[in-house]
Amino acid sequence: MERPLTKNIHPGQEPLSLAEYEKAGGYRSLRKALAMPPQDIVALVKASNLRGRGGAGFPTGMKWGLVPQVGSVPQPRYFIVNADEMEPGAFKDRLLLEGDPNQIIEGIIVSAYAVQTEKAFIFLRREYFLAEKRLKKAIAEAYEKGYLGAGILGSGFNLDLRIHSSAGRYICGEETALINALEGKRAVPRAKPPFPLACGLWGRPTLVNNPETVANIPHIVNNGAEWFKALSACADGGTKIYGVSGRVNKPGAWELPMGTTIEELIEDHGGGMQKGYALRGIIPGGASTDFLLPKHLDVPMDFDSVAKAGSRMGTGTMTVLDDRTCPVGFVHNLEVFFSRESCGWCTPCREGLPWIEKILHAIENGRGESGDLSLLEQHCRLLGPGNTFCALAPGAVEPLQSALKYFREDFERHIREKKCTWK
């Protein structure tokens, strides 16, 4: 099985130097891309069925096609890689950033050429110190070799690439909040429209992609759309870096065909549940997704299949809930994070998430009341899609609303017995 994204990554070892990366086929796609019309690269990515790996799963080529044509708006335009990976349970981008920074940079250059953008940023999570160190080294080497800067490889294409280390807020995963932070403003979401593709960083057209998304671009250019689609086990093209954390024997991350089932991820790659623990639930795509149950083990981990099962694939990095962990405490822990990370820009999120957290804290510590579950369900509705300024609060209530659905007896027992029976 081909693993184009991770073939150069060897845990515990330094990433390939630029010379080693070139020897392994690196920067071949850049030379090939520079000989192509930019619109042909966009068409190739559309044909590949690559969907964004940041969580939403929007078709990448379609998104690129919405960037205004050169000449229709003045330069500069901007390309941003959103490497502010703060979703609890997610660590896939870190693997790529630390393990093969040259691949990320090559993907950025080819992507920027495809949409004719000459200014690019990597918006990096502040805590990713090792990734920053390795990216800086790889960027410096790329400038020295002529892969970045003016007239790349003798062409008329220029690209300046810089790293912006984030101050560290979960809200920066939302692209307009990220753009505000990059401009030196408070990291809060912007009203849309206008969308960043038309009016983003400093009022210019701005394209934002995820690191795993751009890492796929060199391989699509080198090998073609049909090759990329053939890597997948579903209609979405390519491989996916999946992760499993929790009470499994071998927690980690693996590059596998898009559409690999939940059961294969947990049993074959995660080594199954640890001795004495049984699977009770799964959060499939990071903390802001609905629970799935053991009955969903045969669900393929692709965007459409997980949605049909009642959740979202999100980042594809799942967390398992075992039968010896309190689901009320599990969800309370998540809501502590979300309430703290609310940017405070809109009232439902600013006021609602701390209220949810306080109710769950009371239930978990034996102070729950009979009407608390109705209050929590009301909050799940009021903080749902369309009622808040961005998707932070709707994502925050997804694990709660599904926990109330699937593990309601545990919540009721906490309230009835005035204690957490799991402690």
Contact 21, 98 (CB under 8 A): no
pLDDT, tens only, 46-57: 999 999 998 888
Indicate the average pLDDT of the chain. 94
Q: What is the pTM of this model?
A: 0.94
Task: Note whether 236 and 76 are within 8 A (CB).
Answer: no
**pLDDT attached to residue 12:** 86
User: What residues does each domain of the chain span?
Assistant: 18-230, 239-322, 327-417
Q: Which of 108, 92, 4, 124 is nearest to 313 (CA)?
A: 92
pLDDT at residue 389 in the model: 93
Task: Name the percent of the chain lying above pLDDT 70.
Answer: 99
pLDDT value of position 55: 82
CA dist 290 and 313 (Å) reads: 10
Q: What does each C-alpha distance from 410 to 328, 335, 373, 404 come to in angstroms?
A: 7, 17, 11, 9
Residue 233 DSSP class: S
pLDDT computed for residue 378 by the predictor: 96
Q: What is the pLDDT of residue 102?
A: 98
Q: Residues 299, 261: contact at Cβ < 8 Å?
A: yes
CATH T-level assignment (fold) for domain 327-417: de novo design (two linked rop proteins) (1.20.1440)
Confidence of residue 77 (pLDDT cuts 50, 70, 90): very high
What tokens appear for 75 in the block?
Answer: 């330069």
Least confident of 76-80, 85-89, 182-186, 277-281: 85-89
Mean pLDDT of 34-63: 94
Q: Residue 70: what pLDDT? A: 75
For 140-181, list the strands marked E by DSSP. Answer: 160-165
Architecture of domain 239-322: Roll (3.10)
Pairing of strands 119-124, 78-83: parallel
pLDDT at residue 421, as a whole number? 79
Render the burial of 38-48: b for 16+ CB within 10 Å, e for the rest. Answer: beebbbbbbbb
Q: Give the CB-side neighbour count of residue 20, counting CA atoms within 13 A.
A: 11
pLDDT digits (tens, 9 = 90+) for 251-309: 999 999 999 999 999 999 999 999 999 999 999 998 999 999 999 999 999 999 999 99
**18-230 matches 239-322 in fold:** no
Question: Residue 194: is the preceding peptide bond cis (ω within 30°)?
Answer: yes
- Residues contacting residue 346 through CB under 8 Å, at least 6 positions apart: 388, 389, 390, 393
The domain made up of 18-230 has a fold known as Rossmann fold (3.40.50)
Tell me the average pLDDT across 81-108.
Answer: 95
CA angle 342, 67, 162 (to 5 degrees): 65
CA distance 312 to 322: 20
What pLDDT score does 69 carry? 80
Which of 19-33, 65-79, 115-129, 350-364 is the least confident region? 65-79
How sure is the predictor about 354, in pLDDT bands with cuts at 50, 70 and 90? very high
On whether the CB atoms of residues 111 and 209 are closer than 8 A, the answer is yes
CA distances from 316 to 18, 134, 173, 259 (A): 30, 25, 16, 10
What are the structure tokens assigned to 369, written together?
């009341």
How sure is the predictor about 68, in pLDDT bands with cuts at 50, 70 and 90? confident
Portion of the chain with pLDDT greater than 90, in percent: 90
Q: How confident is the model at residue 327 (pLDDT cuts 50, 70, 90)?
A: very high
Predicted confidence (pLDDT) at residue 121 exceeds the cutoff of 80: yes
How does residue 231 score in pLDDT terms, banded at 50, 70 and 90?
A: very high
